């Protein structure tokens, strides 16, 4: 149905935007960490916070492996030294020294990033924020939370729950990812539809700049129009402009009532009308509308990420929607949701074949597990090539099918090469997660996928990174989504803030 003929025509009109791109860097090469450097770091930090293969008995290469390898096991650094500071002052002293010595630095939070941004490309120093994990303050009236960058997202959620508040973002990696990493990646996640992006909910940041200067911007004010809004530069900068050490963030009141329902759809064509109808009928209580295609559903079920429906119920479904409502009045919300489901089932041409509505907190969590667990399921099944793209909602299936067909034509769709091509993601944000699950990472598969997927995305005027960032994976491909003027300005800004190029080298901008 979605022939390669149409795509070929689209690809032909993709603008080539490489003209401004390649300004080879004139910066001097970065220095490797030496034994003397480690001795210096040991004066700044307690010995337990310095892990290095250069100093005797502080760490073996195997102990550094988790800091050198990314979550999907695609990127492997060769760092000899990891530092785990506890205070902003320590981070500042580390950075001042690295700036003088010209040592490359990779800021690291929970290391759950999916674009190879959180691990070194060579032997840069890793500064892991995991030991900076204190809540600094919480105002239960305004909901302003100020926390160290190394606080784990889930721990923060638990901290504010007794005060009747929730974090404005939620994602499958919540048990490991840290608020500093969330801000550095401008993570989107499952609540963006309701609470918007971190560009809106972050109130202030404390950042250690590459030369060690501390930019103290931990404001808790809702409004502040005094000049340039500097914090915005660091949100989504992926550690290329400085190390975030503290975050001030607005947390919304917890909704009094939440419901979720998993809907089985006979055809992808029903997703759009269903989304429209759900928005119209549920209006202010619709809080999530998430998409899982058949392949993604099957993998989630296969790898034990929740079993929402019986096989009979799921039979014939081409895709699934997880819909959540959050509101202030449980009875009112339930009535609205039930009316929507009755309308959907009773229509002459029903948009859904069936739906499972959660009846208890455990079932609520289990339905979410099915959606959140797809990433983990794909990792259990094989090695994942991940493309996180913003494209028009109507083209989600077309993009997945076109990619699968492309790989099939190249003879790569087989058990020992590409096992599955799947799509899932955030319908409410027009954000598709196109995953290619392979038996192993191979240059042949990578060449088949890139730049194919980037060109395909650009042909829809989409973004090659909706929410995961560019990291190491997509730094070279920024031009598919940003014009030359924008990229040049980014490079100028980077040069002003980090003239020696020590912050997370090779990430975001080549
Ligand atoms: P890391 O992975 O450690 O780092 C990520 C980037 O931020 C790196 O470039 C790093 O250098 C930089 N960085 C980290 N900490 C700092 C700091 N303190 N200062 C400056 N730079 C820093 N993302 C979404 O947007 N939405 C999702 O729904 C989502 N779901 C996910 C589900 C799973 C199962 C997994 C594994 C990942 C998911 N992600 C998602 C990816 C997402 O980017 C991360 O989970 C999270 O935001 C990264 O936080 P982290 O602490 O692990 O950062
Ligand atoms: C999600 O929405 C995450 O589940 C991860 O952003 C997506 O693993 C992925 O591709
Ligand atoms: Zn996502």
Mutate to test the pocket of ligand 1, among 109, 153, 172 (most ligand atoms within 8 A of CB): 109
Q: Are 224 and 502 in contact (CB under 8 A)?
A: no
Tell me which of 112, 188, 463 to substitute to probe ligand 1's pocket, judged by most ligand atoms within 8 Å of the beta carbon. Answer: 112
Q: Residue 508: name the closest of 234, 244, 173, 180 by CA.
A: 234
Largest Cα span, the chain: 76
Domain of residue 91, residue span: 35-128
Q: Is residue 341 part of a domain?
A: yes
Calpha distance 223→377 (Å, rounded): 42
Residue 400, domain member (yes or no): no
User: What distance in Å separates the CA atoms of residue 72 and residue 376, rounded to the nearest whole number?
Assistant: 9
Indicate if ligand 1 lies below 6 Å from the C-beta of 182. Answer: yes
Domain termination residue (choose one: 128, 155, 183):
128
- Judgement on whether residues 261 and 351 belong to the same structural domain of the protein: yes
Shortest-distance Cα residue to atom 35 of ligand 1: 173
Residue 446 domain flag = no
| Core vs surface per residue 259-292: b (16+ CB within 10 A) or e | bbbbbbbbebebbeebbebbeebbeebbbbbbbb
Residues paired with 423 in a beta bridge = 434
Do 238 and 266 lie in one domain? The reply is no
Which among 421, 425, 378, 377 is positioned nearest to 400, based on CA atoms?
A: 421
Report how far ligand 2's centroid is from the alpha carbon of 423 (Å).
Answer: 10
For residue 14, report the distance from its CA to the centre of ligand 1, in Å: 30
Asked if 171 and 210 sit in the same domain, the reply is yes
Co-location of 124 and 149 in the same domain = no
pLDDT in tens, the chain (510 residues): 223 333 333 443 333 343 333 444 578 899 999 999 999 999 999 999 999 999 877 789 999 999 999 999 999 999 999 999 999 999 999 999 999 999 999 999 999 999 999 999 999 999 999 999 999 999 999 999 999 999 999 999 999 999 999 999 999 999 999 999 999 999 999 999 999 999 999 999 999 999 999 999 999 999 999 999 999 999 999 999 999 999 999 999 999 999 999 999 999 999 999 999 999 999 999 999 999 999 999 999 999 997 778 889 999 999 999 999 999 999 999 999 999 999 998 888 899 999 999 999 999 999 999 999 999 999 999 999 999 999 999 999 999 999 999 999 999 999 999 999 999 999 999 999 999 999 999 999 999 999 999 999 999 999 999 999 999 999 999 999 999 999 999 999 999 999 999 999 999 999
Answer yes or no: do 61 and 144 share one domain. Answer: no
Omega cis (within 30) before 451: yes
Ligand 2 atom with the shortest distance to the CA of 387: 10
Which of 250, 285, 309 is the C-terminal boundary of a domain? 250
Residue 294 belongs to some domain of the structure: yes
What 3 state SS string does 360-397 have? CHHHHHHHHHHHHCHHHHHHHHCEEEEEEEECCHHHHH
The ligand 2 site (C-beta within 6 Å) comprises 114, 172, 374-375, 386, 388, 425, 433, 435
CATH number (domain holding residue 87): 3.30.43.10
Structure tokens at 68: 């050198």
Among the candidates 73, 93, 128, a domain finishes at 128
Q: Which of 181, 247, 502 to mutate to test the pocket of ligand 1 (most atoms within 8 A of CB)?
A: 181
- Cα 458 to its chain centre, rounded Å, is 20
pTM of the model: 0.95
In a domain, 389, yes or no: no
* DSSP designation for 508: S
DSSP type of residue 224: -
Do both 261 and 246 map to the same domain?
no
Which residues, listed in sequence order, are joined to residue 217 by a DSSP beta bridge? 205
User: HEC states along 228-258?
Assistant: CCCHHHHCCCCCCCCEEEEEEEECCECCCEE
- Contact of 87 with 132, CB cutoff 8 Å: yes
Instruction: Check which CATH number belongs to the domain holding 353 and give it.
Output: 3.30.70.2190
How far apart are the C-alpha atoms of 330 and 333, rounded to whole Å?
5
From the CB of 129, is ligand 1 less than 6 Å away?
yes
Task: Say whether both 208 and 285 belong to one domain.
Answer: no
Residue 158 lies in a domain: yes
Residue 169 is part of a domain; what is its CATH number?
Answer: 3.30.465.10
3-class state of residue 336 by DSSP: helix
Total structural domains within the chain: 3
Instruction: Report how far residue 392's alpha carbon sits from residue 60's, in angstroms, rounded to the nearest whole number.
Output: 48
Closest C-alpha among 281, 291, 292 to residue 338: 281
Contact 433, 441 (CB under 8 A): no
Distance 433 CA to ligand 2 centre (A): 6
The pair of three-digit structure tokens given for residue 8, joined into one six-digit string: 């070929």
Instruction: Tell me which ligand sits closest to the C-alpha of residue 430.
Output: 3
Task: Report CA-CA distances (Å) from 223 to 142, 168, 179, 456.
Answer: 13, 18, 22, 40
Backbone angles phi, psi at 313, to 5 degrees: -65, -40
Do residues 42 and 105 share a domain?
Answer: yes
């Amino acid at each position: 149905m979605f022939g390669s003929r149409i795509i070929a025509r689209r690809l032909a009109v993709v603008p080539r935007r490489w003209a401004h791109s390649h300004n080879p860097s004139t910066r001097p090469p970065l220095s490797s960490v030496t034994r003397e450097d480690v001795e210096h770091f040991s004066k700044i930090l307690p010995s337990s916070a310095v892990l290095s293969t250069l100093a005797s008995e502080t760490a073996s290469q195997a102990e550094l492996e988790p800091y050198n390898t990314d979550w999907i096991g695609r990127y492997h650094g060769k760092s000899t030294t990891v530092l785990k500071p506890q205070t902003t002052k320590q981070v500042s002293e580390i950075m001042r020294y690295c700036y003088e010595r010209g040592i490359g630095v990779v800021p690291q939070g929970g290391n759950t990033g999916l674009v190879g941004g959180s691990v070194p490309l060579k032997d840069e120093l890793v500064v892991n924020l995991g030991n900076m994990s204190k809540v600094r303050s919480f105002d239960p009236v305004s909901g302003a939370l100020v926390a160290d960058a190394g606080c784990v997202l889930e721990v923060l959620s638990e901290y504010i729950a007794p005060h009747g508040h929730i974090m404005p973002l939620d994602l499958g990696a919540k048990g490991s990812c840290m608020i500093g990493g969330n801000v550095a990646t401008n993570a989107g996640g499952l609540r963006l539809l309701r609470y918007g992006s971190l560009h809106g909910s972050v109130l202030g940041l404390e950042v250690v700049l590459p030369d060690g200067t501390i930019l103290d911007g931990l404001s808790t004010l809702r409004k502040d129009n005094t000049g340039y809004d500097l914090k915005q530069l660091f949100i989504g900068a992926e550690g290329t402009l400085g190390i975030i050490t503290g975050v001030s963030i607005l947390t919304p009141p917890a909704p009094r009532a939440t419901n979720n329902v998993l809907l089985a759809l006979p055809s992808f064509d029903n997703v759009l009308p269903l989304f429209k109808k759900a928005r119209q009928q549920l209006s202010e209580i619709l809080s999530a509308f998430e998409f899982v295609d058949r392949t993604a559903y099957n993998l989630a079920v296969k790898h034990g990420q929740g079993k929402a429906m019986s096989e009979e119920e799921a039979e014939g479904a081409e895709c699934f929607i997880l819909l959540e409502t959050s509101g202030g009045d449980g009875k009112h919300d339930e009535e609205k949701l039930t009316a929507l489901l009755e309308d959907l089932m009773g229509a002459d041409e029903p948009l859904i074949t069936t739906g499972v509505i959660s009846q208890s907190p455990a079932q609520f969590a289990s339905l979410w597990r099915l959606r959140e667990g797809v990433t983990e399921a794909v990792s259990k099944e094989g090695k994942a090539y991940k493309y996180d793209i913003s494209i028009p909602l109507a083209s989600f299936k077309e993009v997945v099918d076109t990619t699968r067909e492309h790989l099939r034509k190249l003879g790569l769709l087989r058990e020992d090469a590409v096992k599955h091509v799947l799509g899932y993601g955030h319908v409410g944000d027009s954000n598709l997660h196109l995953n290619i699950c392979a038996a192993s990472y191979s240059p042949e598969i990578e060449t088949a996928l890139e730049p194919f997927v980037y060109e395909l995305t650009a042909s829809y005027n989409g973004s090659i990174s909706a929410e995961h960032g560019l990291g190491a994976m997509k730094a070279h491909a920024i031009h598919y989504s940003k014009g030359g003027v924008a990229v040049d300005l980014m490079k100028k800004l980077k040069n002003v803030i980090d003239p020696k190029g020590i912050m997370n080298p090779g990430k975001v901008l080549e």
